[in-house]
Structure 1
Amino acid sequence: MTSSHQITAGFLPLLDSAILVAAKEKGFAAEQDIELRLVRERSWATIRDRLAVSHFDVAHILGPMPIACNLGLTAPAPRMIVPMALGLGGNAVTVSADVWSEMAACGASPDLDAHASGLALRRVIDNRNGERLRFGVVHPYSGHNYELRYWLSASGIDPDKDVEIGVLPPPDMADALTSGLIDGYCAGEPWNTLGVLHNRAHLATVKAAIWKSSPEKVLGVNSRWADGHPEALAALLRALYTASRWCADIRNHEELAKLLAKPAYVDRPLESLLPALTGLLHIGGKETLSIKDFFVPNAKAATFPWKSHALWFYTQMVRWGHIRHTAEHQQIANDTYRPDIYRSALKALDVSMPAASSKVEGALKVETPVGSSGALTLGPDGFFDGGLFDPDDVDSYIASQARR
């Protein structure tokens, strides 16, 4: 029997493709009368290009990339919308064994505290007398690039002068570290765990420590397809939300890791995938560390496409010279994320959703029940340096960063 909706989705072999994989493999897409075809790609640029030429209808994609496309920063540039996020967190900053040894001698914290590790890295750089460390990120318009730069800058390190930052596909990061091409990288899982297990790497800090409950991958949708297939898109969001609940259940973590380990998906051993799902990560030197909320697929409104997340990404594009700040550019970034479509699609599932579309990022210091029912808990969502981002005052935030 033919499904009502045929949807082709691109993805990269990363742990945070989990919701798409579970939607297909556990039948949540089929329950919504969707024939979901998943196509694995090697680079984010290819994902973008295939969305542009309609080879893909939707894709697992970097949170800032649809904004960059809509701003004309990358070509070919499909017009895109983001009606759903695919989870929170999931990244780490990984360094070579030699760099970690230097950082440890300079006071880096064994618990990967972002403040202590950042100050230690600054001392390491100071001790090198102008020899710049090289870091890899997966794309210029990525959460990885912007969170790495935020961490470095708040630690007194100029990302453009004190270090070099280049772009590498995620699967190449660990080997580039071993070869000495780079000294560290910011990437998603399982590439940090694989670097620790097989390339003598060490975690320096994690995304969950730099900015708690922070955005990462999203569902990027070709807006032409979305305009022509609203029912299919709504059905897909329902399937993905149901999949996110399944992925969040600790009883399903081993099965999820086995699904992701298949050759068609992440194609890496089970033992390299389970740590990020459980939060018990290998950090280096045969040590493990339990990291709360390392990767969050469903709780804390993890799939909600907050406009404040989109606008924070936009401020970083401005901060690092990727785009000039104008009211028009800000509006384009704001309009890329579509919580209205999310709410409309999930209304039938009777799930607790935020009443607002934006929030002050960094304001919640503890887990906080929100809404009249208290059924939804948000936070903590703090930046490690105590910063706050008010999406209603973008101008002031951009000005304050320019002075730092």
Structure 2
Amino acid sequence: MTQPHEIVAGFLPLLDSALLVIAKEQGFAEAEAIDLRLVREVSWANIRDRLAVSRFNVAHMLAPMPIACNLGLTPLAPRMIVPMALGLGGNAVTVSNALWEQMAAAGATTDLDAGRNGKALHEVVLSRREHPLRFAVVHPHSGHNYELRYWLAACGIDPDRDIEIIILPPPEMPDALGAGQIDGYCVGEPWNTGGVVSGKGHIATVKAAIWKSSPEKVLGANAGWADDHPEAMAALLRALYRSAVWCSEPLNREDLASTLAKPAYIGRPIDWLLPALSGDLKVGGGQVTSVKDFFVPRAKAATFPWKSHALWFYTQMVRWGQVVHDDGNETIARNTYRPDIYRTALQPLGVPLPGASAKVEGALRVETPVGSTGASLTLGPDGFFDGGLFDPNKIDAYIDAQRAAKGG
């Protein structure tokens, strides 16, 4: 009998931990001869540090964090790889009820339009120069930090001068908002819905409006462990892909929400989880707004580790002064994401595998069939709300343009 692969994975209580949770709970890991042990953590720093000292083999991680580790931007930085993404989207920006009233007076609406609501926020920011607004994100090297900054800067708000950005763990954000310690936050679900249903906030916009089909969490792996255990890694990717298929089925939403709501995982009411799974978001004031593709676990190559995603995050690290831009750092960022491992593991399943490892981000205005091996594949739309494009073959020009942009 084949000896099981013992894999310890860390996660935070967030909706996009679903692929790991369901791989264990629905038996997909066991079917691949994996003894998967999930460990709930309280912060992203703990996730990173436990990977560094080999307490974890893999983890549910912020998509930019493995890049930051490999660039030496964090203490106890392990050498890391990203062999798989854990879905697209799933984030939102929630503001206090008082701030929403000011934004609404300046033209913000409940349709979550990133451009209109960002313009309204800009009007409020201009009136608050002496008492800047304070927003929270989960980590300096997070998609939340970069998407919030991108949105603000594109709307004429300088994130480093016009507002204050602080770091808070996701579960603490709704209470901090209600206590008046912050004016808004950018986080994954269910903590936006939690802020709304507890009466503490109003959702202003969502990641799916700022950048459609955009990356969020990934499977981060200790590179040393991955190098030494290629069969275990491949087996885990197969289990997680089957989990993604299960999570993407509308008929499984109730079961998925019920599983994630358990104390061992997210530990919050099912009603906090269902809105993000259906896309029918409770945005505040009794309003419900439908968001197409709010959280995508499988479609549109949602689990593929695009090198263009890694490189866009790298450009934001450069833009906001976290790292200098040079060929060496660009290469490190590019090589952190490993579509080669993904393809090798999943090819036997006949799943749709993109023919390319990078793409021009923001180029697809509609759903578009693309070249693939295995099953057919459709990508997009994937546009940035301001019409921007990111070509991974023109990184120097992109960085120069962002430096010259207002607010950048």
TM-score of the superposed pair, with normalisation by structure 2: 0.98
Contiguous gaps of at least 5 residues in structure 1:
none
**Cα offset for 1:232?**
0.2
Residues 254-304 of structure 1: CA deviation (Å, up to 9, x unaligned):
000000001110011000001100101110011111110000000000000
Structure 2 vs 1, CA of residues 161 and 270 (structure 1 numbering), >3 Å: closer, same or farther? same
Q: Is the 8 A contact 1:283 1:289 kept in 2?
A: yes
**Residue 20 of structure 1: SS of its match in structure 2?**
helix
3-state SS of paired residue (2:353): coil
Q: CA deviation at 1:109?
A: 2.3
Q: CA deviation at 1:200?
A: 2.7
Alignment pair present for 1:393 and 2:394 = yes
- Cα deviation for residue 2 of structure 1 reads 7.8
For residues 372 and 337 of structure 1, the distance between their equivalents in structure 2, rounded to whole angstroms, comes to 19
Give runs of aligned pairs for residues 66-77 of structure 1, distance below 5 A: 66-77=66-77
CA offset digits 1:109-146 (Å, max 9, x no partner): 22010000100000011122432000000000000000
2:246 aligns with 246
Separation in structure 2 between the aligned mates of residue 195 and residue 372 of structure 1, nearest angstrom: 41
Alpha-carbon separation, structure 1, partners of 2:355 and 2:368: 14
Alignment-derived partner of residue 41 in structure 1: 41
Task: Provide the residue aligned with 1:174 in structure 2.
Answer: 174
User: Which AA in structure 1 matches 2:290?
Assistant: S
Residue in 1 aligned with 2:105? 105
Equivalent residue, structure 2, for 1:362: 362
State the SS of the aligned residue for 1:392. coil
The one-letter code sitting in structure 2 at the alignment partner of 1:93 is V
Matched, 1:340 2:340: yes
CA distance in 1, matches of 2:126, 2:227: 53
Alpha-carbon contact 1:281-1:288 (below 8 Å) kept = yes
Unpaired runs of 5+ in structure 2? none
Tell me the C-alpha RMSD between the 2 structures: 1.0
In 2, are the aligned partners of 1:174 and 1:199 still within 8 Å (CA)? no
**In 1: Cα distance, 2:358 partner to 2:239 partner:** 24
Q: How does 1:267-286 map to 2 (within 5 A)?
A: 267-286=267-286
Q: Which amino acid aligns with 2:394?
A: D
Letter in 1 for 2:383: G
Relative to structure 1, the CA distance from residue 255 to residue 3 in structure 2 (aligned partners, 3 Å threshold; closer, same or farther) is farther
> How far 1:199 sits from its partner (Å)?
3.5
Looking at structure 2, the residues matched to 126 and 15 of structure 1 have their Cα atoms a distance apart, in angstroms, of: 35
1:26 and 2:26 matched? yes
- AA aligned to 1:118 is G
Tell me which residue corresponds to 2:311.
Answer: 311
Cα pair 2:177 2:200 within 8 Å, conserved: no
C-alpha distance in 2 between matches for 1:366 and 1:148: 24
CA contact (8 A) 1:3 1:35 kept: no
Distance in 2 between residues matched to 1:131 and 1:141, nearest whole Å: 26
Q: Percent identity?
A: 69
> 1:51-73 CA distances to partner (integer Å, 9 max, x unpaired)?
00000000000000000000000
SS at match of 2:54: coil
User: What is the TM-score normalised by the length of structure 1?
Assistant: 0.99
1:8 is aligned to 2:17? no
Q: CA deviation at 1:371?
A: 1.8
Matched, 1:381 2:346: no
Instruction: Quote the Cα distance in structure 1 between the aligned partners of 2:131 and 2:379.
Output: 42
- 1:201-260 CA distances to partner (integer Å, 9 max, x unpaired)? 000100000000000000000000000000000000000000000000000000000000
Helix, strand or coil at the partner of 1:235: helix
